[in-house]
Amino acid sequence: QKEVEQDPGPLSVPEGAIVSLNCTYSNSAFQYFMWYRQYSRKGPELLMYTYSSGNKEDGRFTAQVDKSSKYISLFIRDSQPSDSATYLCAMNSNTGKLIFGQGTTLQVKP
């Protein structure tokens, strides 16, 4: 079993839709949870960061962490074509190593 599981998609939605992306994990030591966005042939860029359980909102993006269920989510409201990218969840404990999910490819159609 992988430490972090993420549905690779692809996910295709119309412009303006609400997008829900999810990851599950098995390591209860994970405390830091991140979502990265990666455009084709580019390095990942940090989108959202959450420490421990809870919600965090930044503009159209909301990140949720449920440590009891070992489940994290990223919601994108009013999705735009420019949101089309691969979204990777990542997490770590205090080891310093980021463990990534497989990434979900999202396409937002105008």
Partner 1 sequence: GAVVSQHPSWVICKSGTSVKIECRSLDFQATTMFWYRQFPKQSLMLMATSNEGSKATYEQGVEKDKFLINHASLTLSTLTVTSAHPEDSSFYICSARDLIRDTKNKGYTFGSGTRLTVV
- Give the residues across from 91 on adjacent strands: 33, 99
Work out which of 14, 68, 94, 110 binds partner 1, going by CB under 8 A: 94
What is the rounded distance in angstroms from the CA atom of residue 21 to the CA atom of residue 29?
A: 22
22 binds partner 1 (CB under 8 A): no
Note whether 24 binds partner 1 by CB under 8 A.
Answer: no
By CB under 8 A, tell whether 43 contacts partner 1.
yes
Q: How far apart are CA 27 and CA 50, in angstroms?
A: 16
88 is a site residue for partner 1 (CB under 8 A): yes
Q: Of residues 8, 16, 54, 81, which one binds partner 1 by CB under 8 A?
A: 8
Nearest CA-CA partner of 107 in 10, 39, 7: 10
